[in-house]
């Protein structure tokens, strides 16, 4: 298997988020929410929210239920034992920041001679997991060499008789040789200078490495800021598109309601053509063939206030409010009711068309439908009769 080679000097921006086993809190989307705002509030990112909730785009709609919080994965829990498995893109500096320890300590604990690491390897990242240091025995003291004894003096040879003696030439004097070795103070000074030079080189290397790490971190922060800005722009655009679609649907609904109202008025006009202008006959004509549906206002289905609204348009050509309470507020209360007046019940919760002799035509409920009945048939109190 090919290994991925990383180092402290490697610049790697990790902006993706790994998959987690989610045990998440649920959140119901409200108007004005965006993935970007939810990600900020829950301490995560837009890409994580999309992955957890299996979203293919950035669009969310009020009423949607999202998972916005996640528990740590087993992989994160394993890092509590003082070890860490290297991932693709990691550097020793970043791992040290993650566990709040100097990366050189990590090199020391793991016997690393360089900052090169491989994905998939396990590192010791805490002092509690580091092996105990072995005691280093001091080297024995160097014994001084024994002093060189002086050679014994050479005794003079006995005198030789002149007649037997031969001339003896003196041996050449032995010249003493001195080893070209520096004195002890000079050697110590040279060692100190070499140590200072090495220390200076190490400090310069550390300074260069620190500057390089700072540049890498600044570049990573810049890339993260650019990505966050891009995600925010995308979320804002998605929200604008969603609002545009909502406005379009509302406009379509309003247009449909307007068309429905116009159709109802046309139907009323056609029905009244046979009514002869009498309040009772107009009311019967408007109510003919209709059934009760709460909120209905067409030529075939009505509720109580829709029936009275259609009647007043057909009978007097007047447009009155849509709801029973609003119709009661718009009318003038009278004490001598006449056919064509409206009668209201229970604080404006129900309304009918008065046709005289204590009778009315109303749309009561789904079971009793639209038809003629006594004013006293309705349970509760009568608020009064109103004229328009």
Model pLDDT for residues 16-46, shown as the tens digit of each residue:
333 333 345 788 999 989 887 887 788 777 7
Whether pLDDT at 261 is above 80 = no
pLDDT cut 90: percent of the chain above it: 46
Whether pLDDT at 12 is above 60 = no
The widest CA-to-CA distance across the chain, in whole angstroms, is: 194
Per-residue pLDDT at 320: 97
Per-residue pLDDT at 25: 78
Evaluate whether 46 touches 87 at the Cβ level (below 8 Å). Answer: no
Query: What is the mean pLDDT of the segment spanning 48-58?
Result: 83
d(CA 177, CA 192): 30
Whether pLDDT at 98 is above 90 = no
d(CA 127, CA 82): 8
Per-residue pLDDT at 165: 38
Evaluate whether 386 touches 332 at the Cβ level (below 8 Å). Answer: yes
pLDDT in tens, 100-112: 889 898 999 899 9
pLDDT in tens, 278-335: 999 999 999 999 999 999 999 999 999 999 999 999 999 999 999 999 999 999 999 9
pLDDT in tens, 101-150: 898 989 998 999 888 898 889 999 888 887 765 444 444 544 555 554 55
Residue 386 phi, psi (nearest 5): -130, 145
At the second CATH level, the architecture of 273-387 is Alpha-Beta Complex (3.90)
Whether pLDDT at 229 is above 80 = yes
CB-based contacts of 315, cutoff 8 Å, min separation 6 = 272, 279, 282, 283, 340
pLDDT cut 70: percent of the chain above it: 73
DSSP state of 173: P
């Amino acid at each position: 298997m090919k290994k991925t080679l990383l180092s402290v000097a490697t610049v790697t921006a990790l902006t993706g988020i790994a998959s987690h086993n989610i045990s998440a809190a649920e959140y119901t989307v409200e108007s004005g929410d965006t993935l970007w705002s939810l990600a900020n509030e829950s301490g995560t990112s837009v890409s994580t929210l999309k992955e957890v909730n299996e979203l293919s785009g950035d669009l969310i709609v009020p009423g949607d239920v999202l998972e916005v919080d996640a528990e740590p994965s087993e992989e994160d829990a394993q890092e509590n034992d003082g070890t860490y498995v290297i991932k693709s893109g990691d550097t020793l500096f970043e791992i040290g920041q993650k566990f709040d320890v100097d990366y050189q300590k990590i090199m020391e604990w793991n016997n690393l001679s360089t900052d090169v690491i491989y994905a998939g390897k396990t590192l010791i990242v805490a002092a509690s997991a580091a092996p105990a240091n072995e005691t280093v025995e001091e080297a024995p003291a160097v014994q001084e060499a024994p002093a060189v004894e002086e050679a014994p003096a050479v005794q003079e040879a006995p005198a030789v008789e002149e007649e037997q003696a031969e001339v003896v030439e003196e041996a050449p004097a032995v010249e003493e040789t001195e080893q070209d070795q520096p004195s002890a103070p000079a050697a110590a000074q040279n060692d100190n200078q070499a140590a200072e030079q090495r220390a200076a080189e190490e400090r310069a290397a550390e300074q260069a490495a620190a500057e390089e790490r700072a540049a890498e971190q600044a570049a990573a922060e810049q890339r993260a800021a650019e990505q966050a800005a891009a995600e925010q722009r995308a979320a804002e655009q998605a929200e604008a598109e969603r609002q545009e679609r909502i406005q379009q649907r509302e406009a379509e609904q309003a247009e449909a309601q307007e068309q429905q109202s116009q159709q109802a008025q046309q139907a009323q006009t056609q029905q009244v053509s046979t009514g002869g202008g009498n309040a009772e006959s107009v009311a019967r004509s408007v109510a003919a063939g209709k059934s009760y549906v709460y909120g209905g206002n067409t030529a075939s289905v009505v509720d109580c206030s829709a029936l009275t609204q259609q009647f007043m348009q057909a009978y007097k050509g007047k447009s009155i409010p849509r709801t029973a309470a609003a119709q009661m507020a718009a009318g003038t209360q009278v004490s001598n009711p006449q056919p064509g007046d409206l009668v209201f019940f229970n604080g404006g919760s129900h309304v009918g068309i008065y046709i005289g002799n204590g009778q009315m035509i109303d749309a009561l409920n789904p079971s009793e439908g639209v038809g003629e009945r006594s004013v006293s048939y309705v349970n509760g109190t009568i608020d009064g009769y109103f004229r328009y």
